[in-house]
Structure 1
Amino acid sequence: MENLVVIDLGSNSVRMTISEIDGAGNHKTVEQVKRYVRLSENMGDEHILQPESIDRTLTALGEFKKIYSQLDNPDIQAVATAAVRQASNQKQFLKLVKDKLGLSFNVISGATEARYDYLGVINTLPIVNGLLVDTGGASSELILVQNRQMKQVVSIPLGSVTLSQSYLENDVVKADSLFEAMTFVNSVFNDVWWLREATNLPIIGLGGANRTLAKINRRKKNFLNFEDVHGYKLSAEDVYTTLIQLLGLDLAGRKKVPGLSKDRADIIIGGLIPVTLLMRLLDSQQITFSNAGLRDGILFNRINEIKNDVE
């Protein structure tokens, strides 16, 4: 039995999934942990990871270590995405983590992140054609799926934290700020030449901001387990209505919205701009949500390796 520990260090949160895998590739998830660390906070134009963000991250990773250290021979696969990928002090940060915790991170490219997203979704949802949208804290990955195959992929340097900090007020979002943010995101999308191939296709939403969109609506509709969003579907109208609702609230009001974590209330509007604009741009009438993403993709990649070794 193999204990696979996958740590995903993102721009807004760090997550850990522990799975047991047997010799035939059968697996069972035994633990999932998440901490909000806001690693990309205040990186600025020079893309410098800030001391406060680094301290929060080290604390969270220390808590994770206490958990996986109790396992027998854990296989630890730790990956870092946009915040570390973009950081000018990346080497110093990685050395600090290694020295303090003995943990080595693999800083993956946006394309590799997208591939893992694809593996996570395609192995857990009956998607034939669609556009996968993973909105993170500092980057977003777009993956065009046709006949269940990954056909196009792009990673763009905008996310819930970066958009919010660059354009939007922390409390009440002003109309001119919102327009400026949406204009910027539209211009980025217009540079993705293949994006029009996704016209009228359903969107599959990944990442914390998109999953929060699902949780808000599941709470509104009184679902018993509102956090179980995997496979949940929303109409474009529901998406637009939710964003309008959030724009009508100040920060204190957003913190009271059922299904919306208080830790995400200041960045949720920025986080929903990409998927909202994509649904309008591509005339997509429906979004399906996935709880499976990068960490699951790493798991399925490992399972495929085990099965190939058996064969």
Structure 2
Amino acid sequence: MENFAVIDLGSNSVRMTISRISNDGTYDTVAEEKQYVRLSENMGAEKILQPDAIERTIEALKGFKEIYSKLDHLTIRAVATAAVRQATNQKQFLKRVKSDIGIDLEVISGTREAYYDYVGVSETLPATNGVIIDTGGASAEIILVQNGKVSNLISIPIGSVTLSSKFDLADEVSATEVFKAMIFVNKIFQSVWWLRNGLNLPIIGLGGSNRTLAKINRRFNNLLNTNDIHGYQLRDDSINETFEKIISMNREERKKVPGINKERADIIVGGLIPVILLMNYLDSDRIMFSTSGLREGILFERLHDIIQTNIKKKEQS
């Protein structure tokens, strides 16, 4: 038996999932934790992690440590994504995490992040042909899946925090700034040569901003278990209508919308622009939502390794 903790330090939040893995490769979820830390806040053009953001992150990790340190047979896999990946003071931050928390934080590449997203989705949802988009705080990962396999994948520096900051979308938004943001993102999509191969394919959305779309819709339709969105689908007209309403509101008004976390009210406009434009760019008429992504992809990789090790042991005995 092994307690396997996966820590995912993103640009907007840090999350932890602890799974108890049996010797036969089956598992149960022991704990799930999330803290909003806004690690990418005010990084600026110099891409420097700011002291306040670092302190928030360290405090969140200390809280996680209080939970996993009580477990035996513990294995920790801690990864950091776009904010730390881009940071010019990355080394100093990693040393701080090591000294204060005692864990080695692994900075994974954008393509590795995208691959783990694919694994997490493909192991839990039908994803034979489609385009996966994971919109985070400082980046978006896009994966083209054809015939059940990864055809192409990419990580691009457009996220909910970065777009909202760059185009002043945190509070009341002007038509000019929304237009500038959309042109900016659309040009990036046009530069990805293989993306048009996903024309008319369904889109699978993950990441906090995309999941918020599903939560808003489920609340609006009074569906039970509003947070149970794994596999939930929406048509493009519903998504466009929701976006139209959100951009007409200021930050305080967005906080009152059922389904929007108050911590996300100032970055939700920037967070929704990539998926809105991707659906339009690929002429896709529907989206399916996934709650499985990076952390689940790492877990499934671990399960596969355990199963393969057990097979080898049996062959050698």
2:157 equivalent in structure 1: 157
Task: For 2:285 and 2:63, locate their aligned partners in 1 and report how far apart those are by CA, in whole Å.
Answer: 42
Q: Which residue of 2 aligns with 1:230?
A: 230
Identity within the alignment, %: 59
Summarize deviations over 1:244-282 as a string: whole Å, max 9, x none.
010111111000000100000000000000000000111
Query: Partner residue of 1:73?
Result: 73
Alignment of structure 1 residues 142-221 onto 2, 5 Å = 142-221=142-221
Using the TM superposition, give the Cα deviation of residue 88 of structure 1 relative to its aligned residue in structure 2, in angstroms.
Answer: 0.2
CA distance in 2, matches of 1:188, 1:261: 28
1:147 partner letter: N
What does residue 269 of structure 1 align with? 269
Residues in 2 aligned to 1:21 and 1:40: alpha-carbon distance in whole angstroms:
33
Q: What is the match of residue 112 of structure 2?
A: 112
Q: Quick check: 2:246–2:269 contact (8 Å CA) kept in 1?
A: yes
Deviation at 1:24, TM superposition (A): 1.1
The DSSP-based 3-state class of the residue aligned with 1:209 is: helix
Q: CA deviation at 1:310?
A: 1.3
Distance 1:168 1:29 in 2: 39
Report deviation, 1:156.
0.3
Asked if 2 retains the 8 angstrom alpha-carbon contact of 1:168 and 1:270, the reply is: no
Unaligned runs of 5+ in 1: none
Alpha-carbon displacement from aligned partner over 1:171-190 (angstroms, at most 9, x marks no partner): 11000000001110001111
- Asked if the contact 2:169/2:270 (under 8 Å) is kept, the reply is no
- Return the alpha-carbon distance in structure 2 between the equivalents of residues 14 and 273 of structure 1: 22
Gap regions ≥5 residues in structure 2: 312-317
Kept in 2: contact 1:5–1:17 (CA 8 A):
yes
Scaled by the length of structure 2, what TM-score is found? 0.97
1:93 aligns with 2:102: no
Q: Is the 8 A contact 2:200 2:282 kept in 1?
A: yes
Amino acid at match of 2:49: L
**SS of equivalent residue, structure 1 residue 41:** coil
Tell me the amino acid that sits aligned with residue 122 of structure 1: S
8 Å CA contact 2:140, 2:159 repeated in 1: yes
| Alignment-derived partner of residue 63 in structure 2 | 63
Three-state SS of the structure 2 residue aligned to 1:309 is helix
TM-superposed CA distance for 1:23, in Å, is 1.1
For 1:222 and 1:169, locate their aligned partners in 2 and report how far apart those are by CA, in whole Å: 29
Q: Is the 8 A contact 2:14 2:35 kept in 1?
A: yes
Q: 1:113-155 CA distances to partner (integer Å, 9 max, x unpaired)?
A: 0111011000000121000000000000000001111110010
Q: Contact (CA 8 Å) 2:81, 2:113: kept in 1 or not?
A: yes
Question: SS at the partner of 2:83?
Answer: helix
Q: In 2, Cα distance between the equivalents of 1:276 and 1:44?
A: 25
Cα displacement (A) at 1:169: 3.5
Q: Matched residue of 1:5: which SS?
A: strand
Equivalent residue number for residue 314 of structure 2:
none
Q: Quote the Cα distance in structure 2 between the aligned partners of 1:165 and 1:149.
A: 35
For residues 273 and 158 of structure 1, what CA distance do their matches in structure 2 show? 9
Partner of 1:248: 248
The number of equivalent residue pairs is 311
Residue 285, structure 1, aligned to residue 285, structure 2: yes
**Separation in 2 of the partners of 1:235 and 1:168?**
28
TM-score normalised to structure 1 length: 0.99
